[in-house]
Each structure stands twice: as C-alpha cells, then as structure tokens.
Structure 1
Amino acid sequence: MTTIIRSLDEISANYDVLFCDLWGCLHNGVQVYPAAAAALQRFRAQGGRVVLLTNAPRPARFVEEQLQRLGAPRDCWDVIVSSGDAAQDAMLAGVVGRRVWAISGPKDEGFFEAIPAEWQDAPAIERVALDQADGVVCTGLFDDRTEVPEDYRARLTIARERGLKFLCANPDIVVDMGEQRLYCAGALAQMYEDMGGSSLYFGKPHPPIYDLARRKLGLERDARILAIGDGIGTDVSGGAGEGIDVLFVTGGLAHDQFGPDVENPQQEMLDEWLRMRESAPEYSIGRLR
C-alpha cells in the first residue's frame, strides 16, 4: 500500500536529492504549478539538491529556455537532465548509423543542430529520406497537435522491412498540453516494436538518463534519492528499477482515476489501480506541493 502524503515536507528530511519530473509535476506545458515550484525551493533551502529529470527530447539548455518562458523560478532546481541529452549522445556516437530518417517537429531542431563541444569533431549526422537511411531517429511526431501513431504505420513498416533501428529520444507515450493530450516519440517506438522492429530508449525508465543525472551531480550510489513523477511506466517504473524511493503524483496523467478531487486521491481507488499495474511507489500525492 502506498502512503498518501499532503506535502513533500512530510518526507523531505529523509532525502538528499530529488529526481523530479517536469511535465505533469512542475508544469502542464502551459503554466508552472506555483505550489510545486515552492516545494522544490523549500527542499533546496534546507540543503537538498534537485535534478529536473525529464523525457523531453531536447538538450537541457532548450528545456531551461522553456522553463524560463513559463516563468519557473530558477532557484527551484540545480541541474536539468533530459532524455534528449542521453539520446543525442547515442545518436552522435552512431548507434543507428550516420544517415538517419528523422521524425521530428520544428521545436526539436536543437536536437540535431546544437552539437555539444565533445562531439564537434565527430562525423556529421545526415538527415535523409527513409529509403536512404541507415536508421531512424525520433524526437516526436512531425505535428503532435494533429497526428496520431497510426498515421506512421506505412512508413514504419518500410523501416522494419529494411531492418532499421529506431532511436527514441522520448520514451513517454502521451503528455498533456493544458487540456489537450498529445502523443510522444515513445508511442511510435512502441508501435515499431509491436510491428517487430527494434527500438532503443535513453530516457526514463531506462538506465542511461539516471546514470547521466548521477554523473552531473557527482552522486555516490548510496545517495538518498527520491524520484518524483506522474508517469507510472516511466517515473515510477524507472525509480523502482534504480532502487530508489518514488513519490507518485496522481494528479498528472492519471488524474481522473482516483476520485473527484484531484488534490486528494482516494486510497482504495489508488491501491487498486496500482495493484492492477503491479506498481508500488512508496508515496503518493495529489499534486506536488
């Protein structure tokens, strides 16, 4: 049974570091949640450190620019680690070849164009048509406001038949942009696997992004870390896989599953929902505060 808490303050003294998700926890893509930002500020004021650990398919500096546009206070985090960082490293290392078919929207152009200093001398990654590609790199749908994964089935069938590997820069399946639910790169990667293709992942719940976060903070393996997130298959599963405690934010993607008050999930409904998914986060909270 997960323990429902009302405030991060109830458990914050037990941890040195937070690995906190962004979308659904600190903001909804349109606005920052003030109570969540304040909770992270209090944790840092008490000597804790905060990693904003996100499956955004963009390098961290572009994530920070978005947070600035949304008005997130700069003192609520120490570092940002994104799925885009880990996936970009893999792409530049050539794990799916150097000629790639890119599935990506304009907002993710920095993933391909902003090359880190350590990769400046590496052979270039060339974006080409599908029939010329050695692999597929996906940061998201071409137009996530209007498209769904099924729109890609024919092209993914061609990629599978050619034996191309699919690099997924964002393992999330969906995300909520305000009131609109959008599909992410993970939905295409999952479809590709279901079709018999091979997908490679670098964000939550997979180890590379957690390893990168630990390196950026210089953490020892015994650091007391709490993972915070609203994704049962990403944040919660990833934290469990890393052997760290998890605070599940019920008011995010699954906000309509635990009773009429999004701020106060009902214990019985939550326990049953988690049991059906074979998940057991140590703590749960309606919204981060």
Structure 2
Amino acid sequence: MTVLLDGISQIAGRHRLWLCDVWGVVHNGIAAYAPAVEALQRFRREGGIVVLITNAPRPFEPVVAQLDRMGVPRDAYDRVLASGDVMRRLVVEHGHPAVHFLGPARDRGLIEGLDIAEVGIGEAEIVLCTGLMDDLTETPDDYQPMLRRMMDKGQILYCANPDKVVQKGDRLLYCAGALAELYEQLGGEVVFTGKPDPLIYEDALALARDIAGEPISKDEALAIGDGMETDMRGAALNGIDAVFIAGGIHAHELEELHQGKADALDPLLARLEEVAPGLRLKGVLPDLRW
C-alpha cells in the first residue's frame, strides 16, 4: 500500500543521496517553493547529498543562474546535472557533426563552444531539439510538415529534453519531448538524453561519488519528482527508490487530495503503475516538504 507521507522526513534517514527533480518540485518556473528548499537544506545539514537532475536542454551553469534568480539558495543542493550536459557529451563523442539546432534562442547555449558545423535542416547529420521555437503559442502539430520531411530523409532527432510538458505558473507548456513523441509516431528515430534515460542517472551517481569521496550505490539513492514518464519511469528503469510529488504537473487533478481525501490518489497511482512498472515507490507527497 502506497504511503501518503506527511513530510519526507519520515523516510529521509533511509537514503544517502537524493536525485531531485527541479521544475515542478523545487520551483514552478517563476518562484521557488519554500517548503521544498527547506527540505533540501535539512537533508544536507543531516549529512545527505543532493544532486538536482533536470531535463533542462542546456548546460548546468544557466540552470544554476536560474535557481539563483528564483530564490533557491546554493546550500539547498550539492550539484546540478542537466540533460543538456549529457547531450553535449554525446555530440562531442559523435565527432564534428553537421548539426541543425531546433529550439528557442534561449537554449543556444547547448551548442556554444562545441566542435560542430551548424547547418540548415536539409544538410544536417543531427537535428538537435531543445523544444518548440515559441512554446507560448505553438503546439507539436505545427511541426508536422518539418518532421515528415525529416523522416523522409531518415534524419535522427536528438531530443535534449524528454519532458512533454512543463508547468510555468498556472500554465502547461509543450517541451521537446512532445515533438519527439510525434516524430516517433510518424516513424522517425529519436535519441534521448535526460530522464528516464540511464545516462543521466549514471552521471548523477558519478557526481555523488565525487562529492562523497567514495562509492555510492543506486540502493542508497532516492529519486524525487513529479513526472510519471520521466522521474518515476526513470527511477523504475534504473532500480532506484522513489517519492512521487503528486502536486506538480498533476496538481490540477488533486484538488480532493489537498482537502484530505487520500483516495483521490487512486486514479493517479493506477496510471503510475502502468507508466513505471516495477517502481520502488516509497511514498507520495502533494509537494516536497520536510
């Protein structure tokens, strides 16, 4: 039976490392969640290690700057690992590819400084996608003609953000994962970085080992997140314990939960079992709090 936790302090002593999602758990795209920040700080003060893992399609440095602006203090975490960090490594390992960048201008930091040739989409070896060019007005359907041309050419879409939607204030905006899903439905091939791909978890554990100065196993880690197909599926695929934050992108489904009706979780948990089979779920919280 899934435990609806009063606070994460109830299980904090069971794990040495938290692999914590950012958007929807630590902030909402506009401001930090104070109870979440306090929980991260308390866990670190008691000797825990916090690696924030995010599907942000850019290197970690801009993510840290964003956290600063939103009021997330640096003593709330040890390191940040972004999907963009993993993607940059993959592109470098590919060896001077011809790349077409697909995404908003704010994400161009992903390719800055890389040994690549940036080309038009027709000449690209790699179409590197960080999201919709204008996520405030566009939908994935707007990209159907482009994706069909890519499929006809046999081009591979490199998706730097597997998230399909993200919460910004009270809105849900489409992300690169929604384009990748559509491309797969059309028959195209996609390479993902970020959650739930194993690469980001392997890199996160390596960071934690560097911080601790000694090995840290998956069994010592707890994944915290609000995304079923990213955070929870990633935890299941990689054999990591998890806490589900039900009030992130699913907040609109949980009004009755916030009124104290625990059975309001049942439909959500049924979907979770389908999306992340084998998940070692250690508890559910409406939001991250100590």
TM-score under structure 1 length normalisation: 0.92
How far does the alpha carbon of each residue in 1:98-152 deviate from its partner, in whole angstroms, 9 at most, with x for none?
112211111111101144xxxxxxxx21221111112210011111111111111
Q: Secondary structure at the match of 2:111?
A: helix
* Equivalence for 1:67: 67
Partner in structure 2 of residue 273 of structure 1: 268
In 1, the alpha carbon distance for the partners of 2:28 and 2:113 equals 26
Aligned to 1:167, what secondary structure does the other structure show? strand
Q: Would you say the 8 A contact 1:259–1:265 is kept in 2? A: no
In the TM superposition, what is the alpha-carbon distance from 1:94 to its structure 2 partner? 2.0
What secondary structure is seen at the aligned counterpart in 1 of 2:32?
coil
Q: Deviations over 1:153-183 (max 9, x none)?
A: 0001000000001100000000011112111
Match of 2:251 among 251, 255, 259: 255
- Secondary structure of the equivalent of 2:107? helix
1:246 aligns with 2:242: yes
Q: In the alignment, what sits opposite 2:26? A: 26
1:236 lines up with 2:232 in the alignment = yes
In structure 2, C-alpha distance between the alignment counterparts of 1:215 and 1:80, rounded to whole Å: 12
Deviation at 1:265, TM superposition (A): 6.4
Residues 204-236 of structure 1, C-alpha deviations (whole Å, 9 max, x = no match): 011000001011121433551110000011101
- Structure 2 residue aligned with 1:150: 141
* Structure-2 separation of matches of 1:103 and 1:129: 10
CA distance in 1, matches of 2:216, 2:257: 39
Contact 1:2 1:271 in 2 (8 A): no
Amino acid at match of 1:267: A
Kindly state the Cα deviation for residue 259 of structure 1 after the two structures are TM-superposed: 3.3
- 1:108 counterpart residue number: 107
CA–CA distance in 2 between the matches of 1:180 and 1:273?
A: 20
Separation in 1, partners of 2:186, 2:272: 24
- Alpha-carbon distance between aligned partners in 2 of 1:31 and 1:273, rounded to the nearest angstrom: 26
Q: What code does the residue aligned with 1:22 have?
A: V
2:212 corresponds to which residue? none
Secondary structure of residue in 2 paired with 1:256: helix
Letter in 1 for 2:284: S
Say which SS state the counterpart of residue 89 (structure 2) adopts.
helix
**Runs of 5+ consecutive residues of structure 1 not aligned to the other structure:** 116-123
Shift, 1:275, TM fit: 1.5
Tell me the secondary structure at the aligned position of residue 30 of structure 1: coil
Structure 1 contact 167–199 (Cα < 8 Å) conserved: yes
Q: Alpha carbon RMSD of aligned pairs, Å? A: 1.6
Which residue of 181, 204, 208 maps to 2:199?
208
Which residue does 1:217 correspond to in 2?
208
CA contact (8 A) 1:174 1:182 kept: yes
1:271 Cα offset (Å): 2.6
1:42, 1:226 → 2: CA distance? Answer: 15
Distance 1:192 1:288 in 2: 34
**Aligned-partner Cα distance in 2 for 1:100–1:150:** 23
**Runs of 4 or more off by more than 4 Å in structure 1?**
none
Distance 1:265 1:77, change over 3 A: farther
TM-superposed deviation, 1:242: 1.4
Partners of 1:67 and 1:273 lie apart in 2 by 29
CA contact (8 A) 1:6 1:286 kept: no
Residue pair 2:219, 2:241 contacting (<8 A) in 1 also? no
Cross-structure match for 1:98: 97
Deviations 1:241-262 (A, max 9, x none): 1111110000101112233354
Aligned to 2:77: 77
| Letter paired with 1:101 | H
| Structure-1 separation of matches of 2:241 and 2:133 | 36
Structure 1 CA distance for aligned equivalents of residues 257 and 270 of structure 2 = 21
Aligned-residue identity in percent: 40
Specify the SS of the correspondent of 2:177: helix
* Matched AA of 1:79: R
Provide structure 2 residue ranges, at least 5 long, that are not aligned to the other structure: 210-214
1:46-57 equivalences under 5 Å are: 46-57=46-57
Structure 1 residue aligned with 2:45: 45
| Contact in 1 for aligned 2:219/2:240 (Cα 8 Å) | no
1:92 shift after superposition: 2.0
Distance in 2 of aligned mates of 1:179 and 1:203: 24
Cα 1:265/1:136, change in 2 over 3 Å: farther
